[in-house]
Amino acid sequence: MSNVSFPGAQTIPGTKATLGSLLRRPYEYLQAKVYGELSARGFPDIRPAHSSLLRYIRPEGSRVVDLAERAQITKQSMAYLVGDLEGLGYVTVVPDPDDGRAKRVMLTTRGQAVWTTLIELSLAAEVNCAELIGADDMATLRRILQNLSQALETQGSGAS
């Protein structure tokens, strides 16, 4: 038995509002809003888990290994998502023209439609958030998050 105590049996975010917890709640709200409305727009079979593929696929298609790396999941997990979305008609798998041994995942017409709809719904959800906190605060939040993302990207590339 461990001697670790849990003050008031709270969760980590309940104990301290970490940056992760402050970012997570708005993300969960956006995700629920977007995917809830996505179903009403004719795509009831798309789940939030599919975003790991849809978020990172390139217009010219992407290899499973590259999608997995960008999404920071295993190749096996990405291959499962590819198989699922292929079965649902959102992607197709074709030979990679740059590497005869590899396969490339491409969006189908239906996949392009869901991708476009996800972007539209995401922008609408952002407008809804701006209505909740005000356009100026939303613009400031967006600017701060863009700056942080760029700084983290620069740091991750080895630059100082």
* Cα 143 from Cα 44, distance rounded (Å): 33
Residue % of the chain over a pLDDT of 90: 76
Does the 18-156 domain belong in CATH 3.20.20.220? Answer: no
DSSP state of 1: -
Q: At what angle do helices 109-133 and 19-40 cross, to 10 degrees?
A: 130
Give the predicted TM-score (pTM) of the model.
Answer: 0.80
pLDDT of residue 54: 96
Which residues, at least 6 apart from 113, have a Cβ–Cβ distance to it below 8 Å?
43
DSSP calls for 101-160: EEEEEEE-HHHHHHHHHHHHHHHHHHHHHHHHH-HHHHHHHHHHHHHHHHHHHHHHTT--
- In the predicted model, is pLDDT for residue 11 greater than 70? no
- In the predicted model, is pLDDT for residue 157 greater than 70? no
Where are the strands (E) in 31-98, listed by range? Answer: 91-96
3-state helix, strand and coil shares in percent for the chain, rounded to the nearest 5? 65, 10, 25
Residue 18's pLDDT band, with cuts at 50, 70 and 90, is confident
Mean pLDDT of 106-134: 96
Q: Please state, rounded to an integer, the average pLDDT across all residues of the chain.
A: 90
